[in-house]
A and B are shown apart, each in its own frame.
Chain A
Amino acid sequence: MNPVLTLAFVGLALITVATSCSHDDPQSPSYVIETIPMPADLEAETGGLAFLPDGRLAACFTRGEVMIYDPAQRNWEVFAKGLHEPLGLWVVNARELLVMQRPELTRLVDTDGDGEADLYEKVADDFGLSGNYHEFNYGPVKDKNGNLFIALNTASYGGKIQPNTRGVVNTLGRDGADGRRQMFSAVPYRGWVMKQTPQGALEPYASGFRSPNGIGIDPDGNLFVTDNQSDWVETSTLYHVKEGHFYGHPASLVWKEGWNRGSPFDLPIEELDHMRTQASVYFPHGIIANSPAQPVWDTTDGKFGPFAGQLFVGEMNHKRIVRVMLEKVKGEFQGACIPFLDNQGLPIGNNRLAFAPDGSLWIGQIAHGWSGDKGIRRVTFTGKQPMDIYRMSLTTKGFDLSFTRPLDAATALNKDHYRIRHYYYAYRKKPFDEPIDHSQQSNIQQIGIKRLHLSPDGRTVSMELDSLKAGYVYELELHNVKSKDGMPAENQTICYTLNNLLE
């Protein structure tokens, strides 16, 4: 036998032994979190993470470094330096990366193979800069046709427009009347998602974003963007982004082709509301997420546990990331969000996520003047099946709640063990004096359960509710629902965004 293969078999046998042991131990965790050692003197504010095909990690940091980490050697090397606030990375190959920095999307190439980039080539810079500190740029991500997508943050009322702007200045994108707390778009395409075609043109793609610090493409090619709660974004969101659509923050509309309606902040709210596309998922503020970041899809086929196909989304303000499960209803994505890895050792500031080829999830932290942290954590599935809600899906009369482990029928079929309420987040202009992180749930109502049913395999609770209404978030709390072997669910609160009812 080939000696390498022999080793692999021994290794596999050891892992099998290890995992079968831990299956039975209720105390052993399903996930372990390790802190990656960072180089001395690196200000490890992580702007981007991406894996090279050989399993090494590329990471960029806000002081302008791109570094490459070899997990086998536990060793960091410099790939590029001197960049301006890089906040996103895309791997082309082991010698070539795309990096999103403040003034441009840049291709970094190690042409001579010495391990360090020697070519810093502009890919795209056809967007405005006002010098405002909040004009962050995110991405890129690439679709199957070779198009790249980036997202451009609006500017903050907390900073001015600098005198040396790039691009035409249009102050109609800045609310002067009463919106002290409105983010603004005074230079082209702030608040837009942009598409860079393989032919080289940067085109406006979709508008209405406030602070879209998370962009990702699912395995089927659907583009998703997260946005951060505040003005016009009553609670944080996950959008399914389609060409030409508007997602609700008005500032960016001034850059819509042919715009002749003056200040978009002055349009009647009904008209703006009619124009906008709803979020696929609302992340209830203070409950699930306050500041969501990058979404990644679990394409590990089980190497990362039972949630294959679902999304994991970074979150800046809780010691967690967020798990999202989507389904299509009436042809549109909607779904539920639930905390993931609460109180298991993650810090706050969870900004960038990337799955390693071995199926572990790497999470890079950032603060950058806000609440956050630094460094990189690695999350590995131990093989022990967690006790958690696997999926929440809509039915004609309520929801199906499926679990990762068979349930104890007595606790699962007790109506008192569930608390359900619904509410919605009104689309509105933030009043002049309202604090930026004030988020209002409207029409909060407790919803009663008519009937509970447990599937024969004990894994799915079907709940029939007293009422079910489109346009609401359904927040469900578990109280004392246990698995057959007595484990409580790791996460007790899940929120489903019900945009559409089943037909």
Chain B
Amino acid sequence: MNVTFTLNGKSVTVNTEPDQRLVHILREELKLVGTKSGCYRGDCGSCSVLLGGEMVPSCLVPAFAVRGAEVVTIEGFTRTRDYADIVHAFEEAEYTPCGHCFAGRVLAIHSLLLRLPSPSEREILAGLSGVRCQCADVSSLLRAVNVVAYSRARKPHGRGGGHP
């Protein structure tokens, strides 16, 4: 079947099986390898994307479910100022995710701070628990999220914004 959806701000059409996983379409057909494939159970969060603005594990999203939807991958998200905020905070907090969980961590922080602009430590841990990776460096990750939250709170308009 042909599936048409908006990917990182542009309309794309792919010919695929209706039950093909979105992560497979993104990585193997559209060569967007920033979204990683991991557990294929929705556990690890390394395949996270934004689907209609919500963070979802793309390994559990079948092709037919994205018809007409808006999908943002980490490649699209890197063009936003929200991304720049987060990566700057990673550097400031000396937080270095392993690369496999990078997209998941960035999108999870983004989603968390949209819901809770100044989260508590427990809210951060709960909000980011959907991304499980063996590289987790909790102290630095907590620092990084706090740096983003603090810097956004000081900006006159809050978030950096700029969705693709």
Real binding pair: no
Using a CB–CB cutoff of 8 Å, the interface residues on chain B facing chain A are none
